[in-house]
Amino acid sequence: MSGVPVLLAYDDLPRGSDIRREYADDGGLVKITVPAGPVPVAARRAVAQAALVSGAVSSWAALLLALIVLTYFVRINRVSGTPLTWAIAFFAVFCTAIVGLVAWVRFGIKLEDLQAGRRQTTVIAVTRDRLLVETTGPFGIGGYDLPRARLVTVSITRDILRDADGRGRRLDHLQIQLAGGHHVWLLPGRDRGELIWVARAIGRTMNVPVQE
């Protein structure tokens, strides 16, 4: 592969992506390099937003119970005027604190999982007839030499992956379905836009169906 003329391109992946790729002079994809690195700011922001929404949704039962209790005591004690205003203000602070606490815990877990995924380094070489993969990192070391005849589909999925320590981490990743019911998963924790780009690149080059 080292003797094949290449053309570097950096204009069609999601903004800020550090994935590098090299094309043969005939436009066929030759190599995709996905380096290890820190979690980008945009990905951190997305995780924070998802954790906040998840925290609010998962806290509704506790907040509803707290509201019922507050309403009960207000009615029993006939609280009104300034004391009622203070009670409502403290209740709002309480609700915010509960949601914030749950969101912060979820953010920490999700960010740790994402950081683990981003420490995986993967190199993918694609031709019309073969898919070659070398990967190393927290999710193990592996190498694959897959002929086109073995590939069934390429898809983007979110599932629990086990790292080298046996810890399950729920991450977006690329899944290559093989004949016989086997599959290979790659690129844990990568941005969904990046996963879609890689899946389409493999599918287009090898004429394999892509499921997004």
Cα–Cα distances in angstroms (integers) from residue 98 to residues 95, 110, 194, in the given order: 5, 18, 34
In a domain, 111, yes or no: yes
State whether 112 and 126 are in the same domain: no
- Residue 2 pLDDT: 43
State whether 78 and 179 are in the same domain: no
What average pLDDT does range 33-59 have in this prediction?
85
* pLDDT > 80? residue 35: yes
Chain segment 134-153, per-residue pLDDT in tens: 999 999 999 999 999 999 99
The answer to whether the CB of 120 falls within 8 A of the CB of 174 is: no
- Residue 25 pLDDT: 63
- Residue 10 pLDDT: 41
* pTM (two decimals): 0.76
Chain segment 53-110, per-residue pLDDT in tens: 887 787 778 778 878 887 877 788 777 778 778 878 888 888 888 888 888 988 898 9
Chain segment 8-20, per-residue pLDDT in tens: 444 477 777 888 8
Task: Give the burial string for 183-207 (b: 16+ CB within 10 Å, else e).
Answer: ebbbbbbbbeebbbbbbebbbebbe
In a domain, 1, yes or no: no
Domain count, the chain: 2
Chain segment 159-198, per-residue pLDDT in tens: 999 988 888 999 999 999 999 889 999 999 998 889 999 9
Q: State which residues form the domain around 180.
A: 6-37+119-211
Whole-angstrom distance, CA of residue 26 vs CA of residue 8: 13
* pLDDT > 70? residue 42: yes
Residue 41's pLDDT band, with cuts at 50, 70 and 90, is: confident
Could you say which of 116, 137, 170 is where a domain stops?
A: 116
Please give the backbone phi and psi of residue 23, each rounded to the nearest 5 degrees, phi first: -115, 145
